[in-house]
Chains A and B, each alone.
Chain A
Amino acid sequence: MPLPADTDVSTPKYLRDKYAIVGIGETSYTRGSGKTTRALGTWALRNAIADAGLKPSDIDGMLSYSGNDSTPSTFMAGDIGARLNFYMDCMGGGSSTEALIGIAVGVMEGGLCNCVAIFRAMNGFSQVRIGGTGARSAAPVNGDMLHNRAYGWQSAGQSFAPTFMRHMYEYGTKPEQVAMVKVVHSEHASNNPKAYYKKRFTVDEVVSSRIICKPLHLLDCCVETDNGTAIIVTSAERAKDLRHKSPLIRGIVGRCSKPRLDMHYQHGPISRVAGYYAKDILWPNAGVGPEDIDAVGAYDAFTFTSMLQLEDYGFCKKGEGGEYVSSGITRLGGKRPQNTSGGHLCEAYTHGMNMVIENVRQLRHDVDDYCPIGPDGKRQHTFDYREGGCRQVKNIEVTANLGWANPATGSAMVMRRGF
């Protein structure tokens, strides 16, 4: 869909299309990387720098995020031989990707540096298990945590479940509808050679997989993997000289929240998520609306997280998420495919990075699927979305990423195809 002409909005729009994502990189998505997070981060950064057509010395800003399960920028900078003019390592998981891209744009706009590399390195399966099992599971409980962890209310799935359950209660959302998120994302993963799980699942397989924490079945939950991922952001001006026709950043909202972040369930309705507030920043800043978006990366730590965000960002009416994700719209070949790499449910768990990386590839019109590579070194996309085939969205111009930290906090970004 062509990008509509700029609309008159009250929010400053002067940063629209002024910055670009010029490089993306990842390690393989594995369980048992056999590498430190330092090595994973370093290799992801090297891949992203090479992808951009930059030299390591071109990187003068670095950002990362973690939950004390990574290696900080100081080591990565040494490993790639970059002298930095700005770096920062933030606490956080999901919703950090878009938020840190926003920080990168801000510090470059402020003149602090010129080219920012963002990385997330994690052994989410073999070291610090993302599901909270292993060493962290019986950790001491102090102070404010007495109100949650002491009750066996600790993992991400357990923490978010009251929102998911209440949504089913209020809107009659059915497990079979929500399961379609997994079904569709697994179809997309089957056309992604680097996806950790490439198998296509059925609704029946999802709803008959064992219950982890009602309303979540095993297959409603994302995969846990080991991986490093990296994204390089610089000005659109600088991007013109680089390797790719780089996607331009249209608008960002970072870690936008509901009230009462100390205990967000105090403020209802709890079936509402942060996108309810974030949409009012994202769409005016980007100058587009949900109807203009060709493909979405909707954070799928769980099937439900994808669906709830689609509602509150306005891709469908509140309460109609179950219908929307079951309608075929979200499939490759549908009106607005989502999580075309397989996302967190199937490709890998990267705390949001792989869904931005995928949309960058989509906007370059060069996703790494099973299509044959032509003489120009680019894949000759067939747009045949059957298993083991293509996953390139045809004529894609505008994408949205909807990042999730928890029901009360989210980030988002709109990108457009580069000139």
Chain B
Amino acid sequence: MAVKGDYMGMALSIDDLDGENLGYFKHCAEHNFHLQKCDDCSLLRYPPTTACPFCASGNSTWTPVEGKGAVYSYLEVHHAIQPAFKAKTPYMVLLVDLDTQRGQPSPDDALRVVANLTLPNGEFAPPDVVKSVGIGTRVRMVFSDVGDGLALPQWTIDETATQPAAPWRYAQE
């Protein structure tokens, strides 16, 4: 059944036919992170796809994955394009390497999962928190509820992890 939500002034939706995204977000709605695991080559993949990008198999099983990793790259938006994001600037979009399957199937590959930097409650991180995060920062996944049966994965600083002394940040503050 189609899923709808409303978030940051945008209508979000997943069509009835979109089994891959319905499957992914069904688990997100329960604040669980699942990825498709290929039934043939056993590799996980992100984002949801129809077939395995590594072996083209059409068979996969939704599998729980630990939502933990380190920031691999990021951007920090000061001039927002989408209207509702203007009130949230500066906001970060993090590209996070999951610990799970890092370096597979080739050494520079990883499950690189995109989300905003938020507080543990899923609200956008304020400027002082933004300034503390860079490449190498350890993060954990939380969820923002954005509709009935729809939640978005988000990243927040992992308070329990050992953090790098100075995560790499762009030169100009």
Q: Which of B14, B85, B95 has the most CB of A within 10 A?
A: B95
**B42: CB under 8 A from chain A?**
no
Which positions in B face A, CB cutoff 8 Å? 7-15, 18, 21, 25, 45-49, 53, 72-85, 88, 91, 93, 95, 106, 108-112, 114-116, 135, 146, 152, 168, 170-172
Q: Which residues of A are found within 8 Å of B18, using beta-carbon distances?
A: 143
Query: Contact flags (1/0) for A202-219 with B, using CB distance below 8 Å?
Result: 000001001111110000
Contact B79 A151 (CB under 8 A): no
**Within the assembled complex, what's the spacing in Å between the Cα atoms of A153 and B75?**
9
User: Which of the segments A102-110, A129-137, A279-287 contacts the partner chain?
Assistant: A129-137
Q: Find B95's partner among A168, A174, A265 (CB 8 Å cutoff).
A: A265
Which of A137, A150, A207, A213 is close to B77, meaning CB atoms less than 8 Å apart? A213
Contact residue among A132, A142, A152, A269 (Cβ-Cβ distance under 8 Å from B91): A152
User: Is B95's CB under 8 angstroms from A158's CB?
Assistant: no
Bound-complex Cα distance A210 to B77 (A): 11
User: Considering the chains assembled together, what is the distance between the CA atoms of A152 and B109 in angstroms?
Assistant: 24
Establish whether residues B112 and A266, one from each chain, have CB atoms under 8 Å apart when the complex forms. yes
Tell me the complex Cα distance, A149–B15, Å: 17
Residue of B nearest to A261 (CB): B53
15 A-B residue pairs with CB within 8 Å: A138-B82, A138-B84, A140-B11, A143-B14, A146-B25, A151-B115, A152-B81, A161-B75, A163-B73, A166-B73, A175-B171, A212-B78, A214-B78, A263-B46, A266-B46
Instruction: List A contacts of B11 (CB < 8 A).
Output: 140-141
Contact B152 A165 (CB under 8 A): no
A24, B34: Cα distance in complex, Å: 53
Name the A residues within 8 Å of B93 (CB-CB). Answer: 151-153, 158, 161-162
Q: How far is the CA of A263 from the CA of B7 in the complex (A)?
A: 23
**A137 with B78: CB separation less than 8 A:** no
Which 3 pairs show the lowest CB-CB distances between chains A and B? Answer: A268-B108, A161-B75, A162-B73
B14 & A146 in contact (Cβ 8 Å cutoff): yes
Is A326 in contact with chain B by the CB < 8 A criterion? no
CB contacts (< 8 Å) of B152 on chain A: these are: 146, 150-151
B75: chain A residues within 8 A (beta carbon): 153, 158, 161-162, 165, 213-214
